[in-house]
Protein backbone atom coordinates (compact mmCIF):
# COMPACT_ATOMS: atom_id res chain seq x y z
CA UNK A 1 0.00 0.00 0.00
CA UNK A 2 2.29 2.58 1.20
CA UNK A 3 3.33 5.07 -1.42
CA UNK A 4 4.59 8.57 -0.61
CA UNK A 5 1.42 9.91 1.08
CA UNK A 6 0.97 6.80 3.22
CA UNK A 7 4.66 6.75 4.22
CA UNK A 8 4.41 10.45 5.08
CA UNK A 9 1.30 9.82 7.18
CA UNK A 10 2.98 6.95 8.99
CA UNK A 11 5.96 9.18 9.74
CA UNK A 12 3.75 11.99 11.05
CA UNK A 13 1.74 9.70 13.29
CA UNK A 14 4.69 7.67 14.52
CA UNK A 15 7.22 10.45 15.18
CA UNK A 16 5.45 11.97 18.22
CA UNK A 17 5.37 8.58 19.91
CA UNK A 18 9.00 7.58 19.52
CA UNK A 19 11.25 10.53 18.72
CA UNK A 20 13.67 11.03 21.59
CA UNK A 21 12.84 7.67 23.13
CA UNK A 22 15.17 4.79 23.85
CA UNK A 23 14.71 1.44 22.12
CA UNK A 24 14.56 -1.33 24.72
CA UNK A 25 14.51 -4.41 22.55
CA UNK A 26 13.86 -5.64 19.06
CA UNK A 27 12.15 -8.94 18.40
CA UNK A 28 12.48 -10.43 14.94
CA UNK A 29 9.50 -12.74 14.62
CA UNK A 30 9.99 -13.54 10.95
CA UNK A 31 13.52 -13.93 9.57
CA UNK A 32 12.31 -12.83 6.14
CA UNK A 33 11.62 -9.35 7.51
CA UNK A 34 15.31 -8.80 8.34
CA UNK A 35 17.22 -10.44 5.46
CA UNK A 36 20.56 -8.89 6.46
CA UNK A 37 22.20 -9.05 9.87
CA UNK A 38 21.27 -6.27 12.28
CA UNK A 39 23.38 -5.10 15.22
CA UNK A 40 21.90 -5.11 18.69
CA UNK A 41 19.93 -1.89 18.77
CA UNK A 42 18.80 -2.05 22.38
CA UNK A 43 19.65 1.14 24.23
CA UNK A 44 19.83 3.34 21.15
CA UNK A 45 17.75 6.48 20.92
CA UNK A 46 15.40 7.29 18.05
CA UNK A 47 16.57 10.76 17.15
CA UNK A 48 14.28 11.30 14.19
CA UNK A 49 11.65 9.55 12.10
CA UNK A 50 11.50 10.56 8.46
CA UNK A 51 10.44 9.51 5.00
CA UNK A 52 12.73 8.59 2.09
CA UNK A 53 10.56 8.17 -0.98
CA UNK A 54 8.05 5.57 0.17
CA UNK A 55 10.36 4.19 2.83
CA UNK A 56 10.31 5.06 6.55
CA UNK A 57 13.67 5.79 8.15
CA UNK A 58 14.53 5.95 11.84
CA UNK A 59 17.69 7.88 12.64
CA UNK A 60 19.19 6.12 15.64
CA UNK A 61 22.37 7.23 17.31
CA UNK A 62 25.02 5.56 15.14
CA UNK A 63 22.99 4.55 12.11
CA UNK A 64 19.77 4.26 10.15
CA UNK A 65 16.98 1.75 10.44
CA UNK A 66 15.11 1.66 7.15
CA UNK A 67 11.67 0.11 6.65
CA UNK A 68 10.65 -0.91 3.15
CA UNK A 69 6.92 -1.44 3.45
CA UNK A 70 6.33 -2.75 -0.09
CA UNK A 71 2.77 -3.97 -0.62
CA UNK A 72 1.32 -4.62 2.80
CA UNK A 73 3.80 -3.31 5.37
CA UNK A 74 2.53 -1.22 8.29
CA UNK A 75 4.14 0.39 11.33
CA UNK A 76 1.69 0.33 14.23
CA UNK A 77 1.99 2.00 17.62
CA UNK A 78 0.65 -0.97 19.54
CA UNK A 79 2.06 -3.07 22.35
CA UNK A 80 0.68 -6.49 21.56
CA UNK A 81 1.91 -8.28 18.45
CA UNK A 82 -0.73 -9.57 16.02
CA UNK A 83 -0.71 -12.53 13.65
CA UNK A 84 1.14 -10.53 10.98
CA UNK A 85 3.65 -8.81 13.25
CA UNK A 86 7.07 -9.58 11.72
CA UNK A 87 9.20 -7.36 14.00
CA UNK A 88 8.36 -5.74 17.30
CA UNK A 89 10.41 -2.78 18.48
CA UNK A 90 9.88 -2.25 22.17
CA UNK A 91 10.06 0.96 24.13
CA UNK A 92 9.42 1.40 27.83
CA UNK A 93 5.81 0.28 28.27
CA UNK A 94 5.03 0.51 24.56
CA UNK A 95 6.02 -0.83 21.16
CA UNK A 96 5.98 -0.41 17.41
CA UNK A 97 4.84 -3.46 15.44
CA UNK A 98 6.07 -3.91 11.88
CA UNK A 99 3.12 -5.83 10.45
CA UNK A 100 3.24 -7.24 6.93
CA UNK A 101 0.72 -9.74 5.57
CA UNK A 102 2.49 -10.58 2.32
CA UNK A 103 6.00 -10.42 3.76
CA UNK A 104 7.50 -8.53 0.85
CA UNK A 105 8.59 -5.77 3.19
CA UNK A 106 11.85 -5.63 5.10
CA UNK A 107 13.88 -3.74 7.64
CA UNK A 108 17.54 -2.91 7.06
CA UNK A 109 20.34 -1.29 8.99
CA UNK A 110 23.08 0.97 7.64
CA UNK A 111 25.74 3.19 9.13
CA UNK A 112 24.28 6.20 7.35
CA UNK A 113 23.83 5.55 3.64
CA UNK A 114 20.49 5.37 1.91
CA UNK A 115 19.96 3.61 -1.42
CA UNK A 116 20.49 5.90 -4.39
CA UNK A 117 17.08 6.87 -5.70
CA UNK A 118 15.79 9.71 -7.86
CA UNK A 119 14.62 13.08 -6.52
CA UNK A 120 11.60 13.13 -4.20
CA UNK A 121 8.28 13.51 -6.01
CA UNK A 122 7.23 16.32 -3.66
CA UNK A 123 10.54 18.20 -3.80
CA UNK A 124 11.49 18.12 -7.45
CA UNK A 125 11.08 21.43 -9.32
CA UNK A 126 9.12 21.66 -12.58
CA UNK A 127 12.13 22.54 -14.70
CA UNK A 128 14.14 19.66 -13.30
CA UNK A 129 11.33 17.19 -13.97
CA UNK A 130 10.92 18.48 -17.53
CA UNK A 131 14.64 18.14 -18.17
CA UNK A 132 14.72 14.58 -16.87
CA UNK A 133 11.68 13.56 -18.88
CA UNK A 134 13.14 15.00 -22.07
CA UNK A 135 16.02 12.55 -21.99
CA UNK A 136 13.93 9.40 -21.75
CA UNK A 137 12.07 7.39 -24.37
CA UNK A 138 10.33 5.09 -21.87
CA UNK A 139 6.58 5.28 -21.37
CA UNK A 140 5.66 7.84 -18.78
CA UNK A 141 3.83 5.67 -16.26
CA UNK A 142 6.48 3.00 -15.67
CA UNK A 143 9.04 5.82 -15.56
CA UNK A 144 7.12 7.73 -12.87
CA UNK A 145 6.97 4.64 -10.68
CA UNK A 146 10.68 3.82 -11.21
CA UNK A 147 12.20 4.84 -7.88
CA UNK A 148 15.59 5.48 -9.48
CA UNK A 149 13.97 8.09 -11.72
CA UNK A 150 11.72 9.70 -9.10
CA UNK A 151 11.12 8.52 -5.56
CA UNK A 152 7.72 8.19 -3.93
CA UNK A 153 5.14 7.30 -6.58
CA UNK A 154 3.46 3.91 -6.95
CA UNK A 155 0.59 2.52 -8.96
CA UNK A 156 -2.29 4.43 -7.38
CA UNK A 157 -0.77 7.89 -7.43
CA UNK A 158 0.79 7.50 -10.88
CA UNK A 159 -2.68 6.81 -12.32
CA UNK A 160 -4.33 9.65 -10.41
CA UNK A 161 -1.59 12.13 -11.36
CA UNK A 162 -1.62 11.18 -15.05
CA UNK A 163 -5.39 11.58 -15.17
CA UNK A 164 -5.27 15.02 -13.59
CA UNK A 165 -2.53 16.04 -15.97
CA UNK A 166 -4.52 14.59 -18.90
CA UNK A 167 -1.54 12.48 -20.00
CA UNK A 168 -1.88 8.96 -21.41
CA UNK A 169 0.21 6.50 -19.37
CA UNK A 170 1.87 5.09 -22.50
CA UNK A 171 3.11 8.46 -23.75
CA UNK A 172 6.88 8.35 -24.33
CA UNK A 173 8.41 10.66 -21.74
CA UNK A 174 10.33 12.77 -24.24
CA UNK A 175 7.10 13.42 -26.18
CA UNK A 176 5.47 15.30 -23.31
CA UNK A 177 6.91 18.71 -24.19
CA UNK A 178 6.94 21.75 -21.94
CA UNK A 179 3.22 22.32 -21.41
CA UNK A 180 2.31 18.77 -20.45
CA UNK A 181 5.45 18.38 -18.35
CA UNK A 182 4.41 21.44 -16.34
CA UNK A 183 0.87 20.09 -16.05
CA UNK A 184 2.25 16.78 -14.84
CA UNK A 185 4.37 18.53 -12.23
CA UNK A 186 1.43 20.60 -10.98
CA UNK A 187 -0.84 17.54 -10.86
CA UNK A 188 1.79 15.62 -8.92
CA UNK A 189 2.06 18.35 -6.28
CA UNK A 190 -1.72 18.66 -5.99
CA UNK A 191 -2.51 14.96 -5.76
CA UNK A 192 0.25 14.23 -3.25
CA UNK A 193 -0.56 17.24 -1.09
CA UNK A 194 -4.28 16.44 -0.99
CA UNK A 195 -3.58 12.77 -0.30
CA UNK A 196 -1.32 13.64 2.63
CA UNK A 197 -3.92 16.04 4.00
CA UNK A 198 -6.44 13.17 3.95
CA UNK A 199 -4.06 10.64 5.53
CA UNK A 200 -3.36 8.65 2.36
CA UNK A 201 -5.44 6.01 0.57
CA UNK A 202 -6.83 2.97 2.38
CA UNK A 203 -7.85 0.61 -0.38
CA UNK A 204 -7.49 -2.65 1.49
CA UNK A 205 -6.10 -2.48 4.97
CA UNK A 206 -3.67 0.41 5.15
CA UNK A 207 -3.81 2.35 8.40
CA UNK A 208 -1.45 4.89 9.98
CA UNK A 209 0.62 4.29 13.12
CA UNK A 210 -2.43 5.03 15.28
CA UNK A 211 -4.58 2.56 13.37
CA UNK A 212 -6.57 5.17 11.44
CA UNK A 213 -7.43 4.64 7.79
CA UNK A 214 -6.86 7.35 5.19
CA UNK A 215 -9.63 8.97 3.19
CA UNK A 216 -8.03 9.85 -0.13
CA UNK A 217 -9.50 6.71 -1.75
CA UNK A 218 -12.84 8.55 -1.71
CA UNK A 219 -11.25 11.11 -4.01
CA UNK A 220 -9.75 8.67 -6.50
CA UNK A 221 -10.88 9.68 -9.98
CA UNK A 222 -9.63 6.67 -11.94
CA UNK A 223 -7.77 4.11 -9.83
CA UNK A 224 -9.88 0.97 -9.47
CA UNK A 225 -12.90 2.64 -11.11
CA UNK A 226 -13.25 0.73 -14.36
CA UNK A 227 -16.60 1.45 -16.00
CA UNK A 228 -17.41 4.44 -13.80
CA UNK A 229 -17.83 7.86 -15.40
CA UNK A 230 -14.79 10.13 -15.57
CA UNK A 231 -15.42 13.00 -13.11
CA UNK A 232 -14.03 15.43 -15.67
CA UNK A 233 -15.87 14.42 -18.86
CA UNK A 234 -18.24 11.54 -18.14
CA UNK A 235 -16.59 9.00 -20.43
CA UNK A 236 -16.20 5.49 -19.00
CA UNK A 237 -12.97 4.78 -17.13
CA UNK A 238 -11.00 1.93 -18.70
CA UNK A 239 -8.45 -0.49 -17.35
CA UNK A 240 -5.41 -1.46 -19.39
CA UNK A 241 -2.07 -3.05 -18.45
CA UNK A 242 1.10 -0.95 -18.69
CA UNK A 243 4.44 -2.26 -17.52
CA UNK A 244 2.66 -5.29 -16.11
CA UNK A 245 0.51 -3.22 -13.76
CA UNK A 246 -3.19 -2.53 -13.83
CA UNK A 247 -3.68 1.01 -15.14
CA UNK A 248 -6.87 3.03 -15.06
CA UNK A 249 -7.46 6.00 -17.31
CA UNK A 250 -10.05 8.10 -19.06
CA UNK A 251 -9.77 7.38 -22.80
CA UNK A 252 -11.22 10.79 -23.64
CA UNK A 253 -9.17 13.01 -21.30
CA UNK A 254 -5.93 11.07 -21.74
CA UNK A 255 -5.02 10.77 -25.42
CA UNK A 256 -1.84 9.45 -26.93
CA UNK A 257 0.03 11.97 -29.08
CA UNK A 258 -0.22 11.42 -32.83
CA UNK A 259 2.18 8.79 -34.13
CA UNK A 260 2.41 6.88 -30.89
CA UNK A 261 0.91 3.42 -31.16
CA UNK A 262 -0.60 1.72 -28.18
CA UNK A 263 -3.78 0.12 -27.04
CA UNK A 264 -5.98 2.66 -25.30
Residues belonging to the active site: 2-3, 54, 245
* Minimum distance of DNA from residue 44's CB (angstroms): 25
Per CB under 7 A, the list member of 14, 44, 52, 53 interacting with DNA is: 53
Per CB under 7 A, the list member of 8, 68, 160, 208 interacting with DNA is: 68
Given a contact cutoff of 8 angstroms between Cβ atoms, the answer to whether 188 and 150 are in contact is no
Vertex 87 angle, CA 29 and 110, to 5°: 120
67 near DNA, judged by CB under 7 A: no
From 2-10, 14-22, 38-46, 124-132, give the range in contact with DNA by CB under 7 A: 2-10
Nearer to DNA, 23 or 85 (CB): 85
DSSP 8-state class, residue 237: P
What b-and-e string marks burial along 71-85, b requiring 16 or more CB atoms within 10 Å of the CB? ebbbbbbbeebeebb
Given a contact cutoff of 8 angstroms between Cβ atoms, the answer to whether 64 and 109 are in contact is yes
From 17-25, 121-129, 183-191, 241-249, give the range in contact with DNA by CB under 7 A: 241-249
* Minimum distance of DNA from residue 154's CB (angstroms): 2
* Minimum distance of DNA from residue 104's CB (angstroms): 4
Nearest to 185 by CA among 164, 203, 212: 164
- State the Cα–Cα distance between residues 231 and 250, nearest whole angstrom: 9
Radius of gyration of the chain (CA): 20
Residues that bind DNA (CB under 7 A): 1-3, 6, 32, 53-54, 68, 70-72, 101-104, 115, 136-139, 142-143, 145, 147, 154-156, 172, 201, 203-206, 239, 242-246
Amino acid sequence: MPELPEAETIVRTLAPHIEGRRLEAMEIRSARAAPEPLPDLAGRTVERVRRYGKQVVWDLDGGLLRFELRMTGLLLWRVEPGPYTRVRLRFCGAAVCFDDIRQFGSLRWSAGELPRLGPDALEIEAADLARRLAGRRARIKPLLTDQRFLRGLGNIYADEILHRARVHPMTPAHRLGGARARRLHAAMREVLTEAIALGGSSISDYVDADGRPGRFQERHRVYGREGAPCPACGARIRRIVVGGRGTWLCPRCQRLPRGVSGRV
